[in-house]
Structures are given as structure tokens and as C-alpha cells.
Amino acid sequence: MRSNVSQYDLIAPGSLAAVLNALADSPGEFTPIAGGTELMVALGAGRLEAKKLVSLWGIPELRFIEVSEDAVTIGAGTTFTDLRRHPVIASDFTLLAQAASWTGSIANQNRGTLGGNCVNASPAADSPPALLVYEAELTLISASGARKVPYGKFHLGYKKTMLRPDELLYSIQLKRNFSGYVSYARKVGTRNAQAISKVAIAALARVHGGVIEEIRLGAASLRETPARLVATELALTRRSVDAELGPTIAAARTALAGECRPIDDIRSTAKYRAAVAGNLVEEFLRGL
């Protein structure tokens, strides 16, 4: 059943300061809406709980990509199209560029924002695995100030984040120090294009002399939040990826089975997700 739109209110104060003031004046009353690719779907399906919304669309202070020598800072209102068009994202953060390219269709990429993808906090979202392995730092902002938090700490539980009711995600910062890493990303969905993932992995590794010095694995749809696979990373660190890969792969599969908690839902089964996750990690290891 479609919602009755006249029961909903939307304000568009037009500037970051005005949005923050609205949130501070009545904490918890307004739900921010950026490109609407999530909340408008809920509205159409008659399941949008928020009745008062505040628009973040068209606020220039939230839509930017700032490049310095050692970092890239991305405004939360940056669209997936903006990310795909940016040369430094393409050169330095291929996992994020890749995730942006497989988020919905062109029309959805023109509206969907990186900040929205984080705050919506779906465990199946496309960009979080990349942001987790790049160890992004978030800036959260409110009328009373800003605070920085590691993205790895942002997700507290299923669809639950550390954002306070008066706060917005302001920006996402990535350090530019991944030149010596091998990267890998693969999303497994029902179709090649325009599908929500059944399971996805973004990964980085630094290999020296045939030994994994460092490995980072970010996953979608394997736990109740987007998550790093820390036990698997630990099991793989200092492992050899030279000729005999068998023991390395076995160690990875055992650790992964112990830490992934996939579920059965409309898109897939827990069993399939766990099996595919193991195969993806193996595929990454075979490519090192």
C-alpha cells in the first residue's frame, strides 16, 4: 500500500547550518533525506516511518571531494556519479570507484550519496566494505560541534549507528597510502547489474617475498553490519602465498566459517552466502 504523502512533511532549509539548527531545536524529530534512493522507496511501499524529513539534497557544503597530498575527504552528499567521475578516486581508491559503479543504475548513482549509503547502514550496502578496508575516518557534525570517529566503529548493530539524533555525517576521509597494496572486490548478486548483493567482499593485501604482511577484508551481508573479517585477517597474516596455497586457503576458510553470521532472506540463504564468501576469499588469495 502506498503512503498518503499529505501525512508527511519535508523541509529544505538549504544550508548546512540551518539543517543542523533544525536538528538541534527538535532532536529526533526530523529524519535527514539526501538523494531519496532508500527513503523514497520506503515511502512508495508504505513503510516510511519518519513523518518529518529534512532535505540534504542541493546543499553545496555537503557535496565535495577535497584532495590533499596525503588524504581525500569526501562530503557525505557526494553522489556515486561524482565518485565515478573523480580521477583521484579512480587512481587511488579503486575499491570505492568499483563499488560506486555497481551501486544501482546510472539514475540511482546520480542521486544516491556516499553518506546516505553509510547512514542507511544496510549490511548489504555496496560502499561500506571498501570504506572499511581503507579504514576511513568519519566526521560527524552537529550544531554543537564536530567529532571524528573511525568508520570501523560507526555501525553498532543492525541498522544502528553511533549517530546522535542531532548529528549528521559530514564527511568521509581516506588516507592516500595504498600504493603497495593488491586490491580485490567482487559482488555476487542475482544479476550482473542493478542487483542488491547476496554477498560482497572488498580486500587489500600487502605481500612481500611470498608472505602476506598485511591483509584487510571487508564484507557485505556476512554479519548484521558491514564488517571487517578480523579473524580471517589474523589467520592469514604472515601466511605464505607461494606455490603451496592449500594450507593458507584452509586456514582462511576455517577462520571465516567461525566469524561470518549470514542469514536466510529473500535474496539468498545463509549456506550459500557462507560458501560464496569462502570462494571469494580464496579467489583473492589465488590472485596474490
Partner 1 sequence: MSAITLTINGESKTITAPPMKRLLDVLREDLHLTGTKEGCGEGECGSCSVLMNGELVNSCLVPVLQAAGANVCTIEGVAVEGRLDAVQQCFLEEGGAQCGICTPGMILATHHLLDKYPQPTMAQIQEGLAGNLCRCTGYKRIFNAVESCAKKSHA
Tell me how far apart the terminal alpha carbons of the chain are, to the nearest angstrom: 50
Indicate the length of the chain as a whole number.
288
CA distance 77 to 157: 23
CA distance 48 to 228: 30
Q: Should residue 2 be labelled a site residue for partner 1 when binding is judged by CB under 8 A?
A: yes
Q: Should residue 31 be labelled a site residue for partner 1 when binding is judged by CB under 8 A?
A: no
Q: Which of 19, 20, 30, 36 binds partner 1 (CB under 8 A)?
A: 36
Whole-number Cα distances in Å, 54 to 2, 23, 63, 137, 284:
21, 9, 16, 25, 42
Contact pattern for partner 1 over residues 233 through 272, marking x by CB under 8 A: ----------------------------------------
Q: Should residue 99 be labelled a site residue for partner 1 when binding is judged by CB under 8 A?
A: no
CA distance 89 to 35: 21
Q: Which of positions 193-232 make contact with partner 1 (CB under 8 A)?
A: 193-194
Stretch that binds partner 1, among 2-10, 146-154, 179-187, 211-219 (CB under 8 A): 2-10
Q: Should residue 57 be labelled a site residue for partner 1 when binding is judged by CB under 8 A?
A: yes
- Residue pair 23/168 in contact by the 8 Å Cβ criterion: yes
Q: Should residue 46 be labelled a site residue for partner 1 when binding is judged by CB under 8 A?
A: no
Q: Which of 21, 110, 139, 240 binds partner 1 (CB under 8 A)?
A: 110
Whole-number Cα distances in Å, 116 to 2, 49, 104, 159, 174:
23, 17, 14, 12, 17
- Residue pair 113/34 in contact by the 8 Å Cβ criterion: yes
Q: Which of 15, 17, 26, 40 binds partner 1 (CB under 8 A)?
A: 40
Which CB atom, from 62 or from 236, has the smaller least distance to partner 1? 62
Q: Which of 107, 156, 162, 211 binds partner 1 (CB under 8 A)?
A: 107
Q: Should residue 116 be labelled a site residue for partner 1 when binding is judged by CB under 8 A?
A: no
β partners of residue 43: none
Stretch that binds partner 1, among 37-45, 91-99, 264-272, 279-287 (CB under 8 A): 37-45
H, E, C per residue of 231-263: HHHHHHCCCECCCCCHHHHHHHHHHHHHHCCCC
Binding residues vs partner 1 (CB under 8 A): 2, 5-6, 8-12, 33, 35-37, 40-41, 43-45, 53, 55, 57-58, 81, 104-108, 110-111, 193-194
